[in-house]
Amino acid sequence: MSQPLSASPSTVKPLRLGTRRSPLAMAQAHEARARLAKAWGWDENLIELVPVLASGDKVQDRPLAEIGGKALWTKELDACLADGRIDLAVHSLKDVETIRPSDIYIGAVLPRADVRDVLLGAPSIRAIPEGARVGTSAPRRAAQMLHRRPDVSIVPFRGNVATRMAKLAAGEADVTLLAAAGLERLGESGVGTPLALDDWLPAPSQGAIAIECRAGDRQVREWLAAIDHAPSRAEVMAERALLAGLGGSCHSPIAVLTRHVGDHLAIRCAIYSADGLEMVEATVTAAVGDDEAPRRLAADLLARASPAIGALFAGPE
Ligand SMILES: NCc1[nH]cc(CCC(=O)O)c1CC(=O)O
């Protein structure tokens, strides 16, 4: 007989929550566990954290775009979900590829944290010394920086948040950029200068934590629904639809922010050439859940993009 819905996990059969092993991933997993346990009145011990080594964590010395992209963060956790080693997987949604396997479902998006990028090493973009070395391996951050400051040079800067802060302190670059959300979750919210959203947009889904489960697991889907934050979900899903419309990959410099304006969504997006010299931007208002509006925005951006920009996008997926 099938289990009645809303039964609790037990000490004999705890819920298993898969996560990457980095300090940021572990902090996000603890937050997800705390929210789920609280929503259902469970002891946190009924949710067991299962750290899984992702292939992206094994390679630290080359840009991700070079190694093969975003599935590097999801492949291992996807396999663990599929074969039942875990029941839930926690991710920074920003690192989760746009097209997911059909047997995996995003059961919850947690309330989106501070979406801004933080500049470390200088008090503002303008104050960065002439010709400074900017440490980043993110095509978006590199292009945005070069767009504003064509005089700087970009140096590769991989590794987890602490590694990048240590590299900055060791002088491997003069400035770097990190997500405010990640810094906050690691208890480092005091460092650096958050960049104003008026002239520095974040990555798609930046600041959002997603919890995935098996698409067919009705019980876990019901549990996750209780901690899903509908406004955050609407915003990041619009950004993911835009990304799908652009055919954006880890090579694609895409900056976007979606915000609720009344009961609608305002989507602002800019796409760049790799050298930051060229940029096209557009804004659109969409109804919540209307994936066509972000896709039209993507088509409009691509139609206006120069060859140097267009080469970085595959087009509608
Ligand atoms: N690219 C790695 C990554 N993935 C998610 C975050 C931070 C948390 C978030 O943006 O949700 C970071 C670090 C960073 O970009 O500084």
Q: How far is the CA of 240 from the centre of ligand 1 (A)?
A: 16
Query: Out of 11-15, 198-202, 245-249, which region has the weakest mean confidence (pLDDT)?
Result: 11-15
**9: in domain:** no
Do 103 and 188 sit in the same domain of this protein? no
Chain centroid offset of residue 210 CA: 9
Q: What angle do CA 33, 34, 37 make, to 5 degrees?
A: 80
Q: Residue 84 pLDDT more than 90?
A: yes
Dihedrals φ, ψ of 147, to 5°? -60, -45
Mean pLDDT over residues 243-269, rounded? 96
**Residue 108 is inside which H or E element, if any?**
strand 104-109
**217: in domain:** yes
Q: How far is the CA of 45 from the centre of ligand 1 (A)?
A: 27
Do 39 and 152 sit in the same domain of this protein? no
Tell me the CATH number at 78.
3.40.190.10
Do 130 and 277 sit in the same domain of this protein? no
Number of domains comprising the chain? 3
- Which ipTM did the prediction report? 0.96
Ligand 1 atom with the shortest distance to the CA of 117 = 16
**7: in domain:** no
pLDDT of residue 270: 98
Which of 24, 158, 195 should be mutated for ligand 1, with most atoms under 8 A from CB?
A: 24
Are 52 and 22 a contacting pair, CB within 8 Å?
A: no
Do 188 and 50 sit in the same domain of this protein? no
Mean pLDDT over residues 42-55, rounded? 94
Do 166 and 135 sit in the same domain of this protein? yes
Are 110 and 31 a contacting pair, CB within 8 Å?
A: yes
Tell me the CATH number at 280.
3.30.160.40
Question: For all residues of the chain together, what is the average pLDDT?
Answer: 94
Do 78 and 23 sit in the same domain of this protein? yes
Do 124 and 171 sit in the same domain of this protein? yes
First to last CA, the chain: 41
Scan for tokens 């400051």, then name that residue: 149
Do 72 and 36 sit in the same domain of this protein? yes
pLDDT digits (tens, 9 = 90+) for 23-37: 999 999 999 999 999
Which of 115, 118, 206 should be mutated for ligand 1, with most atoms under 8 A from CB?
A: 206
Dihedral angle at the C-alpha atoms of 239, 243, 248, 254, nearest 10 degrees?
Answer: -30
* Domain residue limits at 297: 239-310
**6: in domain:** no
Q: Is the CB of 182 under 6 A from ligand 1?
A: yes
Q: How far apart are CA 95 and CA 24, in angstroms?
A: 13
Do 122 and 180 sit in the same domain of this protein? yes
Catalytic residues: 95
pLDDT digits (tens, 9 = 90+) for 100-131: 999 999 999 999 999 999 999 999 999 999 99
Q: Residue 295 pLDDT more than 90?
A: yes
Q: CB neighbours (10 Å) of residue 181?
A: 25
Atom 11, ligand 1: residue with shortest CA distance: 207
pLDDT digits (tens, 9 = 90+) for 202-233: 999 999 999 999 999 999 999 999 999 999 99
Do 152 and 262 sit in the same domain of this protein? no
Q: How far is the CA of 247 from the centre of ligand 1 (A)?
A: 21
Alpha helices in 59-211 (DSSP H): 64-67, 71-82, 139-148, 161-169, 180-185
Ligand 1 atom with the shortest distance to the CA of 138 = 1
Q: How far is the CA of 112 from the centre of ligand 1 (A)?
A: 13
Dihedral angle at the C-alpha atoms of 72, 73, 79, 81, nearest 10 degrees?
Answer: -170
- Among 194, 218, 249, give the residue marking a domain's end: 194
Q: Is the CB of 206 under 6 A from ligand 1?
A: yes
Atom 6, ligand 1: residue with shortest CA distance: 182
Do 183 and 40 sit in the same domain of this protein? no
Are 306 and 273 a contacting pair, CB within 8 Å?
A: yes
Residue partners of 283: CB distance under 8 A and separation at least 6: 266, 267, 268, 269
**200: in domain:** no
Position 66 confidence tier, pLDDT thresholds 50, 70, 90: low
Higher pLDDT, 158 or 68: 158
Position 5 confidence tier, pLDDT thresholds 50, 70, 90: low
Q: Residue 154 pLDDT more than 80?
A: yes
**266: in domain:** yes
